[in-house]
Amino acid sequence: MHKPKEPRTKQQRLSLLLWFRLARFYNQSNRMSNEHVKPYDLTISQFDLLVQTQANQPISQMDLAEKLLVTKGSITQMLAKLEQRDLIKKEQDWRIKRISLTEKGELLMQQARPDQSAFQSSLFSSLTRDEQKQLNILLKKIQKGIESHTNQEDEQ
């Protein structure tokens, strides 16, 4: 049986620890957010879809999937559920499906969005404003590194 290699350097161990901490925060935040939007009969994925739709409407189904980092199949399922609840509407524009919120969807977001925004903001309340700004800068830097790594892989 082949035993996986452990990180060899202190930097690799630290990087792995950071990745685990980020993953734990993300997973715990998602679980808490799912509980928080439950009274609106939404999941956090559905809430995110409604937020992106509201901010970019009318938005194509493909653009929405890209913004949410989900597959075509996943977005189709989520949209079908929200359409059944009359929260979104689809309009066919030649070959492109454009998504918008219905009046019922807009009303739901008027209630849910400020509440969820305040909740998400509270998760960072243990950091000062300056620490939050610094964290934002560092996360952007990590994201650029990931994008550059992805672009290098695409070129190979």
> Which of 1, 8, 113, 4 lies closest to 52, judged by CA?
113
Say what the pLDDT of residue 97 is.
87
**Tens of pLDDT along the chain (156 residues)?**
566 665 578 888 888 999 999 999 999 999 999 999 999 999 999 999 999 999 998 999 999 999 998 888 888 899 999 999 999 999 987 888 899 999 999 999 999 999 999 999 999 999 999 999 999 999 999 988 888 776 666 666
Q: What CA dihedral angle connects 7, 144, 141 and 17, to 10 degrees?
A: -20
| The CATH number of domain 12-123, selected from 2.40.50.110, 1.10.10.10, 3.40.50.300, 3.30.9.10 | 1.10.10.10
Say what the pLDDT of residue 155 is.
67
CB atoms within 10 A of CB 76: 13
How many whole angstroms separate alpha carbon 67 and alpha carbon 21? 24
